[in-house]
Amino acid sequence: MSEVWFTDEHEWIRIEGDVGTVGITEYAQEQLGDVVFVELPEVGRKVQKGKDMAVVESVKAASEVYAPVTGEIVEVNSGLVNEPATVNADAAGAGWFCKIRLADRGELRGLMDAAAYGKFVEGLS
């Protein structure tokens, strides 16, 4: 069974073994509006928790996507390059950005579970 965690910058990470699949939350894609461009990190790139790793652009704005954990990019969703609107259609599924091999599982303790993230988003309204 996979576990899903959330950041206060509106990224999600679904953990399976020592790899986490990362995307932006439903809330984030709603705030951005129609996504028109996605810049993905390169496979093999080392990323650091809280540092930028990708870019998502919409008709409204460009936004950084931050690494929820430290690790190495092991796969990217290259389909987003030609179909960036997939992020709007399925932010929590087919609209994932990349997969990161975790350097330290302990970093997950600093993230929110679904219930905590839901309360966090409610507080933003």
What's the mean per-residue pLDDT of the chain? 96
**Over the stretch 67-84, which tens digit does the pLDDT of each residue have?**
999 999 999 999 999 999
pLDDT at 125: 73
* Domains detected in the chain: 3-120 (2.40.50.100)
**Over the stretch 35-60, which tens digit does the pLDDT of each residue have?**
999 999 999 999 999 999 999 999 99
Flag whether pLDDT at 105 surpasses 80.
yes
pLDDT at 11: 98
pLDDT at 120: 97
Work out whether strand 52-58 and strand 11-16 pair parallel, antiparallel, or are unpaired. unpaired
